[in-house]
Amino acid sequence: MNKPLRRIAIFCGLLVLALLVRTNWLQYIEADELNTHEKNRRVLIERYAKERGNIVVDGKPITGSAKTKDTDFKYKRTYLDGPMWAPVTGYASQAFGATQIESIEDGILTGNDDQLFFDRTMAMFTGDEEKGGNVVTTLNGAAQKAAFEGLGKKKGAVAAIEPGTGKILALASTPSYDPSTFAGNSLDSDTPAWEKLKDDPDKPLLNRALRETYPPGSTFKVLTAAAALEHGVVDDIDAKTESPLPWIMPGTTTPLENEGNIPCKNATLREALRVSCNTVFGKLGFNVGKENMLETAKKFGFNEEQFVPVRANASIFPEELNDSQTALSSIGQFDTRTTPLQMAMVVSAIANDGKLMKPYMIDQLEAPNLDVIKKTEPEEMGQPVSQEHAQMLQEMMETVVNEGTGTNAKIPDVTVGGKTGTAQHGENNSKNPYAWFISYAKGENGSPVAVAVVVEDSDAVRDDISGGGLAAPIAKDVMKAVIDSKK
Amino acid sequence: MSVVTNTTTIGAIEAPSRRNTELAMLAFAVVIPVFAYLNVGLAVNDEVPSGMIGYGLGIGLLAGIGHLVVRKFAPYADPLLLPLATLLNGLGLVLIWRLDQSPRLIDRANRIFGSFTPDAPKQLLYSAIGIALFVAVLLLLKDHRILQRYTYISMAVALVLLILPVFFPAVNGAKIWVSIGPFNVQPGEFAKIIIAIFFSGYLMVKRDALALASRRVMGLYLPRGRDLGPILAVWAMSILILVFETDLGTSLLFFGLFVIMLYVATERTSWIVFGLVMSAAGAVGVATFEPHVQQRVEFWLNPFAESTWEQSDQIGQALMSFGAGGTLGTGLGQGNSDLIGFAANSDFILSTVGEEFGLAGMMAFLLIYGLIVERGVRTALAARDPFGKLLAIGLSGAFAIQVFVVAGGVMGLIPLTGMTMPFVAAGGSSVIANWALIGILIRISDTARRPAPAPAPSPDAEMTQVVRP
């Protein structure tokens, strides 16, 4: 009976071998895939196992960590001024995941990033409690406060950039939410808070400054003016343009209307921007042509997602247009859509003498011992307009603030340039328009701040809505906060 | 020492008994779990566990008793079996104690049952009973061939054991338990030993008839019904009962046992073919009408699918546990294998091994099991009587299949069937029955390695050598 016995021995050997091969497969080859599996709770456990690093503004943390009694999660995220900072921080919730900086820099914040390997090893030897690293933002607390309080109960968003570097100074969105309310995983308090936010028709979880695209309305005329100058359609901003009134849009019998009875016939570019002539800019856009308009828009960053490093939606300048649509798109109507961040980029490029800096909001990443791991260096994105043309645009925008529609943004002893916008939307423009204001402040050492404000307030009486009335005061407060903080 | 080369199978030369080797390895098998115990205490509670001395003494005492009994009553036994079983049992206790410390499992038990009772003390008690049974086997069973006498009684007992759970309520979907007061017994674990005894006794008598008196049908040698009938009937009944009780693992085990023993007894490869065809037919047949089986296969194929996850995340959690362990493991007490939930310390205990000991530890564990099987097969080879050979290969084959089915199921190699990892998993029946199994193997190996009595001098020896003209 020994021959079959030997064969059975081989068979048993094969069984064990199969198990050995399988365990190697699972624990060596597939281990990484399993460890990062979306259903793997260890990822979350690990995220909250240590005191999470902080997100820092003006040298002070705007987040914190609290010890919990949970069996899985030792620490819970807390937020200071949660609603004000939510568009910057995002949230880190034990039950509902993480977004924005909390998610993008999770490795640094949890301390598990490979860049922190050395610190972890040191902590192991010194016996210090392991802790996450910090994320230092570029934001300006005073500007953020001004933006958030300026928006108040209204729906809207503010994006402010330092033109010379691309540093994001303020990023506000209202209505907002407090990430603290659902940072834990309690079924009694966190889940209802989350459900309520998720189902809120006002979409408080939406980051309007980065993820919502609005029709830019008249603020887009600045870009049309830039395109006209860049492509040689207009040389002198104080020369009369050939702008008939009424102007029938090409290929149609429809006249393009102006808001009210304003002096637009053959107005100069400066004058047309000052009073915001639809006819002049509509015709100008048509004359520049859709290809050239698109080219300039793209140079300013349109039609492309921006990563700051949080993703911002792509703003749209349509690629397929007929002549009348080109005209409408050039005054910020039709299918032109933009994020507040994009309009802030447009102004910042103009304020920075034509040079567009890549916007960013993470200044540096720090190890738990505050060693700098990585510093973001300002990066040039391009030169959408020449220096000469940029200065012409500045002049015109300053006229708008000094004696045009944007007088509400005037700041004593500071040069301010801006442009208002009142964007129609909805079918037949039936909905209450969005109020826009884009502007920059300028001092002796260049411009410290460029800002874009949008207010979508459907509660206001329609006639009261105008960029100059609703949005300009907010922009002014933000600019003033930045200037004051530099003093 | 003059080396005497022993070339005969049965020699009068005394084989080394290896009892001291066994004692030395046994010391290792006690020391390793004691250190593991210390490790868990330090990792989980940051202190030397208070029960450490008690635990060390307990395991040491049990192992010592086992060793003394073997030394006295089975002096020629295989020296590896007892240390290997002790090591597994000791590590199993540590793993169960480690899972008893899991706040997650304590929380879960409090939420669902309103109270939490640790399993480790119970397991220690069961281990003691298991070793007591081991000792009893060695004391009472002076020669394994006595078991031959109980061939048909074994058959009856095995059937009774298998039928019993039908009269008791199902636990977690499987009717494999008999509950008497506070005690839960899984008769299947014992039935596996008893049915091996029956198969051995029956096949030993009928093997010639089965192998030779057969008709050739379609290239296969089929035996006569009256030879095969009884064994086929018993086997079919056990399978039917088990399918009825939805105990898939045990039915697979019995099937494998049946094929292996039949093959060894008859030495006919056609039995393997016959067995495989029948198992394929059986598997397809059962899978078509048994939703339980279909579900298991579905869970196995798509462990991470949303629909699987809603019903049971066990397989997925187990796989992620193995992944989390990686090459070297997280270290005892520092993994999250308790995410698996209620079966973490029984069917799924191997996940904790995988996560906290890592790939290195898993390979070591699997090799320990492999070694036990290897020593069993070696005992079968060494045994001099067909009954002993059959019984030894039956028991070690059953052990190998059980290890493969459980480990393969937990690691997602085959569908999960729900059996216990011998010696390691929490559960009294398993530990006790497997100690008995080791006891029988040790008894067979003792008989096999015992030096044969010197041939009696033959008075005719001189004469036969003289060729007379």
CB within 8 Å of A269: residues ≥ 6 apart = A225, A228, A234, A237, A238, A239, A241, A280, A284, A396
Is A48 strand, coil or helix?
Answer: coil
More confident residue, B208 or B189: B189
Mean pLDDT for B160-166 is: 83
Using a 10 angstrom Cβ sphere, with 0-12 exposed, 13-18 middle and 19 or more buried, the burial of residue B31 is middle
Residue-level pLDDT at B463: 56
DSSP state of A337: B
Chain-centroid distance, C-alpha A446: 23
Residue of A nearest to B306 (CA): A39
Taking only the tens place, the pLDDT of each residue in A101-118 is 888 888 888 887 878 877
Using a pLDDT cut of 70, give the percent of chain B over it: 88
Taking only the tens place, the pLDDT of each residue in A61-93 is 999 988 888 878 888 899 998 889 988 898 988
Residue-level pLDDT at B459: 61
- Cβ neighbours of A18 in B, within 8 Å: 404, 408, 413
- ipTM summary value: 0.90
- The answer to whether residue B172 scores a pLDDT higher than 50 is yes
Residue of A nearest to B385 (CA): A1
- Cβ neighbours of A5 in B, within 8 Å: 264, 377, 380-381, 389, 393
Confidence of residue B77 (pLDDT cuts 50, 70, 90): very high
Residue in A65, A173, A218, A324 annotated catalytic: A218
Residue-level pLDDT at B297: 86
Measuring CA to CA, how many Å separate B348 from each of A342, B167, B175, B304, B408? 54, 27, 19, 17, 11
Residue B348 phi, psi dihedral angles, 5° rounding: -105, 20
Using a 10 angstrom Cβ sphere, with 0-12 exposed, 13-18 middle and 19 or more buried, the burial of residue A1 is middle
- Positions in chain A whose pLDDT score sits under 70: 425-431, 458-465
Which of B304, B322, B366 is facing A20, going by the closest CB pair?
B366
pTM for the structure as a whole? 0.74
Interface of A with B in 43-82 (CB under 8 A): 45, 71-72
More confident residue, B280 or A450: A450
- Cβ neighbours of A45 in B, within 8 Å: 336
Measuring CA to CA, how many Å separate A339 from each of A206, A226, A343, B65, B442? 12, 19, 7, 80, 79
- The answer to whether residue B2 scores a pLDDT higher than 50 is no
Residue-level pLDDT at B467: 58
Alpha carbon distance B392, B390 (integer Å): 6
Confidence of residue B461 (pLDDT cuts 50, 70, 90): low
Interface test with chain B among A27, A28, A187, by most B beta carbons within 10 Å: A27
Which of B319, B363, B403 is facing A34, going by the closest CB pair?
B319
Residue-level pLDDT at B442: 95
- Cβ neighbours of A22 in B, within 8 Å: 408, 411-413
Is A311 strand, coil or helix?
Answer: strand
CB distance from A31 to chain B under 8 Å? Answer: yes
- Cβ neighbours of A9 in B, within 8 Å: 374, 377, 381
Confidence of residue B295 (pLDDT cuts 50, 70, 90): confident
DSSP state of B175: -
Residue-level pLDDT at A23: 95
**Please, how many CA atoms are within 13 Å of residue B250, restricted to the half-sphere of its CB?**
31
**Residue A180 designated active-site:** no
Confidence of residue B219 (pLDDT cuts 50, 70, 90): low
Mean pLDDT for B310-327 is: 90
- The answer to whether residue B179 scores a pLDDT higher than 50 is yes
* Chain B nearest CA to A16, separation (Å): 6
Q: H helices of B141-269, where?
A: 151-163, 187-212, 225-244, 248-266
Interface test with chain B among A14, A16, A24, A36, by most B beta carbons within 10 Å: A16
Residue-level pLDDT at B220: 64
Does the beta-carbon distance from B374 to A12 stay under 8 Å? yes
Taking only the tens place, the pLDDT of each residue in B221-264 is 666 767 777 767 766 776 676 677 777 788 888 888 888 998 89
Chain-centroid distance, C-alpha A45: 30
